[in-house]
């Protein structure tokens, strides 16, 4: 009986020690003075913010930058509620979003994309409207092959959707979409994998992927080629700022990150993502 009691006590001690070790290890991993910077929002801004974050961490060993997507609306809502330190928004703030602070880190455009195998090289404004509202349903009606059009639309909460609808004076309820996508990469993969698809995404993302063998091509808009160069010179009609948003005047590490993200130190990262750097 005594041996049994002794054995039980040993097991309890060993178990308690085993439970204690991970806790101590976890505590040891939380280094004193370590700061976590949380950014949420636009899937267009996120890849750039992540690259900027990595470079910022290299210069600030006590900081960890956590970048999460979910759309511009999520970023703005998260900042308002305190769930994020910085929101990422690929658009300007709206009138009902007053009280927030916005800082542009780059400029981008929104372009129409089709599969590279599609013989169509241009669509006018009315043709795009008619395709997205279901009045034109076959590529043959706009000079393409006799194949049904697959309309790819953005999900609610993404600023790309809002800007597209505003530019073409459309209501989302009027759009007859076959596929709903979230981020730019999903849109590019969808169109690249479907010779009859049409969508709209970040020009920077599309130009980058097209030059890295993605089976897509950008169509001109209002007679202007969809290119980073035309976004930069102001000729492209559908451009937008890529912003970092805060709930209050930035201070401390948040201010340092935003200033870094707007500095010449990251111009190469901005251009590597095929966006246009801010003027210095």
For the beta carbon of residue 233, count every other beta carbon within 10 angstroms: 10
pTM: 0.77
CATH topology of domain 35-107+241-277: D-Maltodextrin-Binding Protein; domain 2 (3.40.190)
pLDDT of residue 23: 34
pLDDT of residue 280: 82
Whether 108-232 and 35-107+241-277 are alike in CATH topology: the answer is yes
pLDDT per residue as tens, the chain (280 positions): 444 444 434 443 334 333 333 333 233 335 667 899 999 999 999 999 999 999 999 999 999 999 999 999 999 999 999 999 999 999 999 998 989 999 999 999 999 999 999 999 999 999 999 999 999 999 999 999 999 999 999 999 888 999 999 999 999 999 999 999 998 899 999 999 999 999 999 999 999 999 999 999 999 999 999 999 999 999 999 999 999 999 999 999 999 999 999 999 999 999 998 899 998 8
Q: What's the rounded Cα separation, in Å, for the pair 262 and 55?
A: 13
Quote the longest CA-to-CA distance of the chain: 92
Q: Determine phi and psi for 112, rounding to 5 degrees.
A: -80, 135
Residues in the chain: 280
Domain boundaries, the chain: 35-107+241-277, 108-232
Q: What's the rounded Cα separation, in Å, for the pair 268 and 277?
A: 9
pLDDT of residue 31: 63
Q: What kind of architecture, by CATH, is found in domain 108-232?
A: 3-Layer(aba) Sandwich (3.40)
Contact by Cβ (8 Å): 75, 68: no
User: Residue 178 burial (CB < 10 Å; 0-12/13-18/19+)?
Assistant: middle
- The crossing angle, in degrees rounded to 10, of helices 46-59 and 252-261 is 120
Q: What's the rounded Cα separation, in Å, for the pair 88 and 41?
A: 5
């Amino acid at each position: 009986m005594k041996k049994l009691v002794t054995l039980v006590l040993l097991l309890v001690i060993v178990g308690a020690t085993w439970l204690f070790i991970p806790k101590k290890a976890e505590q040891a991993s939380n280094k004193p003075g370590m700061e976590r910077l949380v950014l949420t929002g636009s899937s267009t801004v996120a890849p750039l913010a992540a690259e900027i974050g990595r470079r910022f961490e290299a210069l600030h060993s006590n900081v960890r930058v956590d970048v999460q997507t979910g759309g511009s609306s999520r970023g703005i809502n998260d900042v308002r509620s305190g769930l994020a330190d910085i929101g990422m928004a690929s658009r300007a703030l709206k009138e009902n979003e007053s009280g927030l602070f916005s800082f542009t880190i780059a400029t981008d455009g929104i372009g129409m994309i089709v599969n590279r195998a599609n013989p169509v090289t241009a669509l006018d404004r009315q043709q795009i409207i008619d395709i997205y509202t279901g009045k034109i349903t076959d590529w043959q009606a706009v000079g393409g092959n006799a194949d049904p059009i697959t309309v790819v639309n953005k999900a609610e909460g993404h600023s790309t959707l809002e800007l597209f609808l505003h530019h073409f004076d459309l209501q989302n309820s009027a759009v007859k979409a076959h596929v709903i996508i979230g981020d730019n990469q999903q849109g590019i993969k969808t169109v690249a994998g479907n010779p009859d698809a049409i969508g709209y995404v970040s020009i920077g993302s599309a130009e980058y992927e097209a030059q890295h063998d993605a089976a897509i091509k950008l169509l001109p808009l209002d007679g202007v080629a969809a290119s980073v160069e035309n976004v930069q010179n102001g000729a492209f009609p559908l451009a937008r700022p890529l912003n970092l948003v805060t709930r209050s005047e930035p201070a401390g590490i948040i201010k340092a990150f935003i200033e870094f993200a707007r500095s010449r130190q990251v111009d190469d990262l901005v251009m590597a993502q095929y966006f246009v750097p801010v003027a210095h």
